[in-house]
Structure 1
Amino acid sequence: MRSEPIFALIDCNAFYASCERVFRPDLAKTPIVVLSNNDGCVIARSYDAKPFVKMGEPYFQAREKLRRHGVVAFSSNYALYGDMSERVMTLIESMVPATEVYSIDECFAELTGMAQDLTLFGHRLRLRIAQCTGIPVGVGIARTKTLAKLANHTAKRLQRHTGGVVDITDPVKRDWVLRNTAVKEVWGIGRKMTAHLEGMGIRTAMDLARADAWTLRQRFNVVVEKTARELAGTPCLELDDVDPPKQEICSSRMFGMRLSELAPIKQAVATYVGRAAEKLRAQGSVCKRMRVSIRTGMFNPNEVHHAQGAWVELPYPTCDTLLLTRLATDAVERIFRPGLRYSKAEVLLMDLRQPGDFSGDLFAPRQSVARDRLMEVMDSINERWGRGTVRAASVPAAPDWGMKREMMSQSYTTRIDQLWTVRG
């Protein structure tokens, strides 16, 4: 007889801020915020920083307030966060039968058939992650993925009482959580949907679980129906072992300063092409179309506003950084307008497929084996020695137009010259 499925959701607490604290133990009791690209706005907050600043608040407006309350701000350090995430996920994978990485700081795990106390296992998992990475996590355990999300939310909301682990596989505990959770906290129920559901008298997760699923499907969609069934204990969502290949890959950044000359804009586009092509090869795909766009700042009333893009039809399906770079920079020349102050560029790779899936002309050109091998060697060198070790000649090592990161921490885990040092 097949065991009923059991899922866990492991979610890192205030992940970006927690990563910064791992290597700054002196900030263990200091509120922390992390800023977006170019130190624009607040994108992450430690729990003790939430009373002082809103998510998305522009840093230039909040700077004095943060200083007054002793909140420390960091520029985003995505290399550090990505590496710490991989360490956490690897630990989880070593302790459970199967996982699905949901985001950089969340992971679903399947616990079906595990012959042990699941609450104790959740605490053991938390302890192992904290000991090996320094990252605090919450663990929610339930019969469905939606309920596991809800259990995780409860584990964090009632941290002092739960110790960061909540198991609601028992129907009595599940019903208590459902009754005491607002419907807006349910996974996948956004602000607009909350308003619609509350208009129907559905105000708690329990109300949604008891609602007629077929009526919800007719009035809204199948997603809301599945959510209600999952809350009632019927599994509708399985664990996804492998993420499907992306259908589009975008690399887009704001410049660290306004650019009025063509040369640095071409350098920026070449840099973004290189990053997009790395992602393309990482999922084993090739692309047939590309869109390159540049734009000025759009919010200053004293500046001319302009945005333009160009489509590029590639000669053959490719993942060749050098070919993509040459065609993308040629496209920039066509859309650049002198006298404007540009603030952002974007490269979008489209029509992505696996090699061999394109049914083109038998005699049409195709990417050479030698170029495939060159890309493999470049990726292996960059993986071992760091991104940008080998790059297109048009990509500078330290561009003047690069993102502004005046408060970025060191890359403690990904750069040998920035390893953590302890002085006696």
Structure 2
Amino acid sequence: MTIVGVRMWRELWGQSCIPLELTLDRKKAMCTSRAFGKLTGDYTELREATTSYISRLAVKLRREKCCATAITVKLQTNRFNPNHRQTFPSITLALPHPVNNTHDLLRAGLEGLRKIYVRGYLFQKVEVMATGLIPETEVQLNMFNEYKGIEHDKLSKIMDEMNSYYGAGTIKMATEGQKQRWTLRREFLSPEYTTNWNDIIKTR
């Protein structure tokens, strides 16, 4: 009998073999990353994708009631295509204050994108990561650097409430764009019978 079998046998007889963790470890980082539907080297499309991912990342942070102290932006080409030039630029920027509002994260993230963007490459993916996470209740402000994000915090909260009530994407940042040609292909997406009114089965 394997060690797994022995543990299972003991557990069935009431002997605990795996300690129960009542408290989860605090997350140290959060990441939002997804491949594009097509390769792109257009800066406007990369900015739209980065904005979209940072917006999603900010929502995650607020749901977890965490604030980030740094943000990382990374671009990736298709490493499996030998016919294309390869590069994987990345940058990490420290934030003036721990934040989780979309505006401040977006400002830092787009600054990072501008610094690492290189013309002449076709990128397949953008990755955005928030690091140095701390709980909202443990944020300490810098006495030498005035925090000006209170209005941004309120605005992000209003956006969350509106998108929760009217549907995701109802209100979004202008730099996310409208057409978003870089998004994943969804031609063969399965019908969403339980979450989309347009996909509900109709009978006569």
User: TM-score normalized by structure 1?
Assistant: 0.44
1:238 paired with 2:20, answer yes
1:256 paired with 2:37, answer yes
Question: How far off its partner does 1:231 sit?
Answer: 6.7
Preserved contact between residue 297 and residue 343 of structure 1 (Cα < 8 Å): yes
**CA shift digits 1:232-286 (9 cap, x unpaired):** 642233374x755532110001010001111111111111001110000001111
Aligned to 2:188: 407
Name the aligned partner's letter for residue 129 of structure 2. L
Residue 96 of structure 2, aligned match among 315, 321, 335? 315
Aligned to 1:25: none
1:41-80 pair list within 5 angstroms: none
1:5-404 pair list within 5 angstroms: 203=2, 205-206=4-5, 208-209=6-7, 230=11, 233-235=14-16, 236-238=18-20, 240=22, 245-404=26-185
| CA distance in structure 2 between the partners assigned to 1:261 and 1:349 by the alignment | 24
**CA shift digits 1:96-148 (9 cap, x unpaired):** xxxxxxxxxxxxxxxxxxxxxxxxxxxxxxxxxxxxxxxxxxxxxxxxxxxxx
Aligned to 1:422: 202
**Higher Cα Rg: structure 1 or 2?**
1
4+ residue stretches of structure 1 with deviation over 6 A?
none
In structure 2, relative to structure 1, the CA distance for the partners of 1:228 and 1:247 (3 Å cut) is farther
Residue 307 of structure 1 aligns to a residue in which SS?
A: coil
| CA distance in structure 1 between the partners assigned to 2:148 and 2:135 by the alignment | 13
Query: How many residue pairs are counted as aligned between the two chains?
Result: 203
Preserved contact between residue 316 and residue 365 of structure 1 (Cα < 8 Å): no
Any stretches of 5+ residues in structure 2 without a counterpart?
none
In structure 2, relative to structure 1, the CA distance for the partners of 1:232 and 1:391 (3 Å cut) is same
User: TM-score normalized by structure 2?
Assistant: 0.88
In structure 2, relative to structure 1, the CA distance for the partners of 1:248 and 1:231 (3 Å cut) is farther
Question: How far off its partner does 1:337 sit?
Answer: 1.2
Name the aligned partner's letter for residue 203 of structure 2. R
Instruction: Considering Cα pairs closer than 8 Å and 6+ residues apart, tell me whether 1 or 2 has the greater RCO.
Output: 2
- Root mean square deviation of aligned Cα: 2.4
In structure 2, relative to structure 1, the CA distance for the partners of 1:239 and 1:358 (3 Å cut) is closer
**CA shift digits 1:304-331 (9 cap, x unpaired):** 1210101111121111112211221121
Question: How far off its partner does 1:369 sit?
Answer: 3.1
Preserved contact between residue 36 and residue 125 of structure 2 (Cα < 8 Å): yes
Name the aligned partner's letter for residue 393 of structure 1. A
Preserved contact between residue 318 and residue 367 of structure 1 (Cα < 8 Å): no
| CA distance in structure 1 between the partners assigned to 2:9 and 2:71 by the alignment | 41
Question: How far off its partner does 1:373 sit?
Answer: 1.7
Identity of counterpart residues, as a percentage? Answer: 26
Preserved contact between residue 248 and residue 349 of structure 1 (Cα < 8 Å): yes
Any stretches of 5+ residues in structure 1 without a counterpart?
1-201, 210-226
